[in-house]
Amino acid sequence: MATDRILNSSNAQTQDNRQGAESRYIICMKWGDKYGPEYVNRLYNMVSRHLTLDFQMVCLTDNSTGIDPAVRCYPIPELDLPAGPERGWKKLTTFKPELYDLKGVALFLDIDIVIVDNIDSFFTYEAKHPDSVVIIRDWKKPWRMIGNSSVYRFNIGMGTYPNLLANFEHNFDIIRTQVRHEQAYLSDYLRKHHHLEYWPKDWCVSFKYQCIAPIPFNLVRAPKLPDGAKMVIFHGEINPPDAIKGGGGKWYRHVKPSPWLKEYWQ
């Protein structure tokens, strides 16, 4: 009888892990007042239009007011860190060994990206290793092998990266003198202890580096969507609303309007 209970328990756990591995999540984060709930809602709409696979969208946030009820909202987990500037460290909480009983494969998306084509491939892409985190390769200095964490896929709640967050919290005083932001720590840790892989370079394009024409051509040429792009990533001063209407800071960085973004950013 005891043996039967052990076998039944083992079979049940195996079945739970199998079912969890088949679950797909879109994870995003919103904190502070820089972005309103409309950013989360637009992201949910874009994913719904461009992902044909079953998914559940989850937002980790400090304020769920105004967010579409179809998006499951949870508080951002606390980090055991001393006071200091927030450099995206909160994103690392997605790697908690257990996160609100979420279990499966998760695709993290920044809430200010623009999805322009089908994104099924971000889930069906076959990584070389089961513990790989697949991420964007940095556009400006690709030789540094640092991933851009605007879009990354990982195993959530599966115990795949048990010490990633604990190591960060325990050694934070040293780590923050070595890296400027969370994606540098994440890339370095994964290369040393797990595996880091990169999306095909055409899938995630930088609006700043790949859509806008180089200076001085940006003054006369409107930004264009590169062939093969599936997502447009915004970093720096420009966000999607700014890109649509055009403008910029210093005169030589002026960005002409990108009305083509409107059909996607909704």
Across all residues in the chain, what is the average pLDDT? 89
Question: Three-state SS for 49?
Answer: helix
pLDDT at 4: 35
Give the rounded distance of the alpha carbon of 198 from its chain centre.
13
Asked if the model's pLDDT at residue 9 lies above 90, the reply is no
Q: Taking Cα atoms as reference points, which of 91, 94, 113 lies closest to residue 46?
A: 113
Write out pLDDT tens, residues 58-110. Answer: 999 999 999 999 999 999 999 988 877 677 899 999 999 999 999 999 999 99
Q: How confident is the model at residue 168 (pLDDT cuts 50, 70, 90)?
A: very high
Residue 72: Cβ within 10 Å count? 15
The stretch 131-154 carries a mean pLDDT of: 91
Asked if the model's pLDDT at residue 204 lies above 70, the reply is yes
The least confident of 33-42, 90-99, 115-124, 235-244 is: 235-244
Q: Where are the alpha helices (H) located in the chain, listed in sequence order?
A: 2-21, 37-50, 121-124, 164-170, 172-178, 182-193, 240-245
Token output for 241 = 């609303």
Kindly report the pTM of this predicted structure. Answer: 0.89
Write out pLDDT tens, residues 155-164. Answer: 999 999 999 9
Asked if the model's pLDDT at residue 10 lies above 90, the reply is no
The least confident of 19-33, 85-99, 175-189 is: 19-33
Strands (E), the chain: 24-30, 56-61, 72-75, 104-109, 114-115, 132-137, 147-156, 195-198, 204-206, 231-233
Q: How confident is the model at residue 112 (pLDDT cuts 50, 70, 90)?
A: very high
Greatest Cα pair distance in the chain: 79
Asked if the model's pLDDT at residue 13 lies above 90, the reply is no
pLDDT at 1: 41
Question: Three-state SS for 30?
Answer: strand
Residue type, 203: W
pLDDT at 144: 79
Residue 84: Cβ within 10 Å count? 10
pLDDT at 36: 97
Give the rounded distance of the alpha carbon of 240 from its chain centre.
17
pLDDT at 88: 84
pLDDT at 19: 46
Q: How confident is the model at residue 21 (pLDDT cuts 50, 70, 90)?
A: low
Q: Is 45 exposed, middle or buried (0-12, 13-18, 19+ CB in 10 A)?
A: middle
